[in-house]
Amino acid sequence: MSYANLLYHIVYGTKGRLPFITNEVKPHLHAYLGGTVRGLGGAAFEINGMNDHVHLLVKLNTTHRLDYFLRDLKANSSKWAKDKTNGKFGWQRRYGAFTVSESQFSVVQHYIRNQEEHHKKFDFKHEFESLLRANGLEIDEYLWKD
Protein backbone atom coordinates (compact mmCIF):
# COMPACT_ATOMS: atom_id res chain seq x y z
CA MET A 1 0.00 0.00 0.00
CA SER A 2 1.18 3.54 -0.77
CA TYR A 3 0.49 6.56 1.39
CA ALA A 4 0.09 10.15 0.19
CA ASN A 5 -1.12 13.38 1.75
CA LEU A 6 -1.24 15.79 -1.17
CA LEU A 7 -2.35 19.13 0.24
CA TYR A 8 -2.27 22.24 -1.94
CA HIS A 9 -2.83 25.95 -1.42
CA ILE A 10 -4.16 27.09 -4.80
CA VAL A 11 -4.52 30.74 -5.77
CA TYR A 12 -5.76 32.33 -8.95
CA GLY A 13 -7.29 35.62 -9.98
CA THR A 14 -10.06 36.85 -12.17
CA LYS A 15 -9.23 37.82 -15.72
CA GLY A 16 -7.59 41.23 -15.64
CA ARG A 17 -8.01 41.16 -11.85
CA LEU A 18 -11.43 42.68 -12.35
CA PRO A 19 -13.78 42.64 -9.32
CA PHE A 20 -16.12 39.95 -10.68
CA ILE A 21 -16.59 38.17 -7.35
CA THR A 22 -19.19 40.40 -5.74
CA ASN A 23 -20.53 39.87 -2.23
CA GLU A 24 -23.69 38.46 -3.84
CA VAL A 25 -21.81 35.92 -5.99
CA LYS A 26 -19.02 35.05 -3.54
CA PRO A 27 -20.70 32.51 -1.22
CA HIS A 28 -22.33 30.71 -4.15
CA LEU A 29 -19.08 30.64 -6.13
CA HIS A 30 -17.17 29.26 -3.15
CA ALA A 31 -19.82 26.57 -2.63
CA TYR A 32 -19.68 25.73 -6.33
CA LEU A 33 -15.88 25.49 -6.21
CA GLY A 34 -16.10 23.15 -3.21
CA GLY A 35 -18.63 20.96 -4.96
CA THR A 36 -16.50 20.88 -8.11
CA VAL A 37 -13.42 19.87 -6.10
CA ARG A 38 -15.42 17.00 -4.59
CA GLY A 39 -16.83 16.08 -7.99
CA LEU A 40 -13.30 15.84 -9.35
CA GLY A 41 -12.38 13.46 -6.53
CA GLY A 42 -10.62 15.89 -4.20
CA ALA A 43 -11.46 17.39 -0.82
CA ALA A 44 -11.87 21.13 -0.21
CA PHE A 45 -11.01 22.27 3.31
CA GLU A 46 -11.10 26.05 2.94
CA ILE A 47 -12.15 28.41 0.14
CA ASN A 48 -12.11 32.18 0.38
CA GLY A 49 -10.83 35.24 -1.42
CA MET A 50 -11.62 38.73 -2.46
CA ASN A 51 -13.46 40.27 -5.39
CA ASP A 52 -10.53 39.61 -7.76
CA HIS A 53 -9.12 36.25 -6.65
CA VAL A 54 -9.71 33.01 -4.81
CA HIS A 55 -7.70 30.76 -2.45
CA LEU A 56 -8.39 27.05 -1.97
CA LEU A 57 -6.91 24.56 0.47
CA VAL A 58 -7.49 21.17 -1.11
CA LYS A 59 -6.37 17.58 -0.89
CA LEU A 60 -5.88 15.67 -4.12
CA ASN A 61 -5.32 11.99 -4.60
CA THR A 62 -2.45 10.27 -6.36
CA THR A 63 -4.41 9.89 -9.58
CA HIS A 64 -4.82 13.66 -10.04
CA ARG A 65 -2.63 15.64 -12.37
CA LEU A 66 -2.55 19.12 -10.89
CA ASP A 67 -2.71 20.89 -14.25
CA TYR A 68 -5.72 18.83 -15.39
CA PHE A 69 -7.43 19.27 -12.03
CA LEU A 70 -7.05 23.06 -12.23
CA ARG A 71 -8.05 23.17 -15.88
CA ASP A 72 -11.31 21.39 -15.04
CA LEU A 73 -11.93 23.35 -11.83
CA LYS A 74 -11.41 26.70 -13.54
CA ALA A 75 -13.41 25.76 -16.66
CA ASN A 76 -16.40 24.45 -14.70
CA SER A 77 -16.49 27.37 -12.27
CA SER A 78 -15.96 29.93 -15.04
CA LYS A 79 -18.92 28.56 -16.98
CA TRP A 80 -21.09 28.64 -13.84
CA ALA A 81 -19.97 32.18 -12.94
CA LYS A 82 -20.52 33.46 -16.49
CA ASP A 83 -24.10 32.23 -16.26
CA LYS A 84 -24.56 34.10 -12.95
CA THR A 85 -22.93 37.35 -14.15
CA ASN A 86 -24.39 37.69 -17.65
CA GLY A 87 -21.13 36.61 -19.28
CA LYS A 88 -18.99 39.07 -17.34
CA PHE A 89 -16.60 36.59 -15.75
CA GLY A 90 -13.34 34.85 -16.44
CA TRP A 91 -10.32 33.47 -14.62
CA GLN A 92 -6.77 34.46 -15.45
CA ARG A 93 -4.78 31.75 -17.24
CA ARG A 94 -2.02 31.53 -14.65
CA TYR A 95 -2.28 30.23 -11.10
CA GLY A 96 -0.22 29.45 -8.04
CA ALA A 97 -0.26 26.01 -6.46
CA PHE A 98 1.84 25.46 -3.37
CA THR A 99 2.28 22.23 -1.47
CA VAL A 100 1.30 22.35 2.19
CA SER A 101 2.71 20.06 4.86
CA GLU A 102 0.30 18.64 7.42
CA SER A 103 2.10 20.64 10.11
CA GLN A 104 1.18 23.87 8.30
CA PHE A 105 -2.41 22.89 7.47
CA SER A 106 -4.05 25.03 10.18
CA VAL A 107 -1.77 28.00 9.41
CA VAL A 108 -2.76 27.98 5.74
CA GLN A 109 -6.41 27.36 6.59
CA HIS A 110 -6.39 30.37 8.94
CA TYR A 111 -4.65 32.49 6.30
CA ILE A 112 -7.30 31.65 3.70
CA ARG A 113 -10.16 32.09 6.15
CA ASN A 114 -8.97 35.61 7.05
CA GLN A 115 -8.52 37.06 3.58
CA GLU A 116 -10.49 40.20 4.36
CA GLU A 117 -8.08 41.07 7.19
CA HIS A 118 -4.98 40.45 5.03
CA HIS A 119 -6.30 42.65 2.27
CA LYS A 120 -6.76 45.64 4.53
CA LYS A 121 -2.95 45.83 4.38
CA PHE A 122 -2.09 44.81 0.81
CA ASP A 123 -3.60 43.98 -2.58
CA PHE A 124 -3.68 40.73 -4.54
CA LYS A 125 -0.62 41.57 -6.62
CA HIS A 126 1.50 42.08 -3.50
CA GLU A 127 0.03 38.96 -1.86
CA PHE A 128 0.60 36.71 -4.87
CA GLU A 129 4.14 37.91 -5.47
CA SER A 130 4.88 37.37 -1.75
CA LEU A 131 3.54 33.80 -1.99
CA LEU A 132 5.72 33.13 -5.03
CA ARG A 133 8.83 34.45 -3.28
CA ALA A 134 8.04 32.53 -0.07
CA ASN A 135 7.87 29.36 -2.15
CA GLY A 136 11.18 30.00 -3.92
CA LEU A 137 9.60 30.89 -7.26
CA GLU A 138 10.77 33.65 -9.56
CA ILE A 139 8.44 36.35 -10.82
CA ASP A 140 8.61 36.63 -14.59
CA GLU A 141 7.59 39.44 -16.90
CA TYR A 142 4.41 37.58 -17.96
CA LEU A 143 2.96 37.20 -14.49
CA TRP A 144 0.30 39.89 -14.83
CA LYS A 145 -0.51 39.38 -18.50
CA ASP A 146 -3.70 37.39 -19.13
Closest C-alpha among 109, 52, 58 to residue 81: 52
Please check the confidence at residue 142 and state whether its pLDDT lies above 90.
Answer: no
d(CA 143, CA 57): 22
* pLDDT over 70 at 146, yes or no: no
88 pLDDT above the threshold of 90: no
pTM: 0.94
Question: Which of 60, 65, 56, 7 lies closest to 29, judged by CA?
Answer: 56
Alpha helices in the chain (DSSP H): 26-39, 66-84, 105-113, 115-118, 124-134
pLDDT band at 87 (very low <50, low <70, confident <90, very high): confident
Tell how far CA 11 is from the center of its chain.
Answer: 3
**57 by DSSP, 3-state: which?**
strand
Q: Residue 128 above 90 pLDDT?
A: yes
Cβ contact 66:97 at 8 Å: yes
How many Cβ atoms sit within 10 Å of the Cβ of residue 113?
Answer: 14
- The fourth-level CATH superfamily of domain 6-134 is Transposase IS200-like (3.30.70.1290)
Ranges of each domain in the chain: 6-134
What does pLDDT average to over the chain? 93
Q: What is the 3-state secondary structure (H, E, C) of 92-112?
A: CCCCEEEEECHHHHHHHHHHH
Neighbours of 19 (CB within 10 A): 10
